[in-house]
Amino acid sequence: MGKQRTIGIGMDYSPTSKAALRWAAENLIDPGDRIILVQVQPPKADHTRKELFEDTGSPLVPLEEFREINYSKQYGLSHDPEVLDILDTVSNTKGAKVAAKVYWGDPREKLCEAVDDLKLDSLVIGSRGLGPIKRVLLGSVSNYEVTNASCPVTVVKGTSSSSSSSSSSTKPTIK
C-alpha cells in the first residue's frame, strides 16, 4: 500500500458506468484513497448551478452532500440509490473519501479536463460497446480517454446484457 491515490470514476448512471464504479470499488480502491465521481452534463443543460460553474465545473461535493436529493436537483443529476449504496459501502469498508464533481460540455473533453484539474492518478469509465459504425459516427468516449488522458485509464465493458434495463445482470470485464 503506497500513497493515497485520487481515482476518478466517469458516471452517467448507465449500467456500464455503474459496472465501472462497482469494479473500481472491488478491485482498485485501497484504504484511504480518494474517489471522485466525475459527471458531465450536456452543454445545453439548464440547471441552477450551471451558470455559476460552467467554465470550471462544480466545486467538489462530499458524499454527505451528494447523498441529498437537493444536490441532484441543483445539478440535474439522477438520484440513484444503487450508486449511493456502492459509494457508502466503499467509504465505510475501505475508508475511502468520496466526492463528486459536475462538468458541462463534451464528455470526451471534460473527462480529460477533469484528469488534469483534479490530478487524478487513474480514471475508470464504462464502455457502451458501440459497434464500429456507431463508434465512427458518434465517437467513443472510452477510446478518446485511453488515447488522450494524462493518467492510466481503465475501461470496464459490460456484457451484452448491460444494454438491458436490469443493471444487476451486468458483469464487467476489463478492456
Q: What is the pLDDT of residues 1-28, one digit of tens each?
A: 568 999 999 999 989 999 999 999 999 9
What average pLDDT score do residues 71-80 get? 75
Q: For residue 157, what pLDDT band results from cuts at 50, 70 and 90?
A: confident
Domain around 136: 6-156
174 in any annotated domain: no
Q: What is the pLDDT of residues 43-55, one digit of tens each?
A: 776 665 656 566 6
162 in any annotated domain: no
Which CATH number covers residue 96?
3.40.50.620
163 in any annotated domain: no
48 in any annotated domain: yes
Handedness of CA 157, 113, 89, 48 (dihedral sign): negative
87 in any annotated domain: yes
At 159 the three-state DSSP class reads coil
Angle at 118 between CA 129 and CA 142, to 5 degrees: 10
Number of domains, the chain: 1
Q: What is the pLDDT of residues 113-151, one digit of tens each?
A: 999 999 999 999 988 755 555 444 445 788 788 888 999
171 in any annotated domain: no
Q: What is the pLDDT of residues 85-105, one digit of tens each?
A: 999 999 999 999 999 998 988
Entry pTM: 0.81
Beta bridge partners of 37: 9, 100
55 in any annotated domain: yes
**Residue 30 exposed, middle or buried by CB count within 10 Å (0-12, 13-18, 19+):** middle
117 in any annotated domain: yes
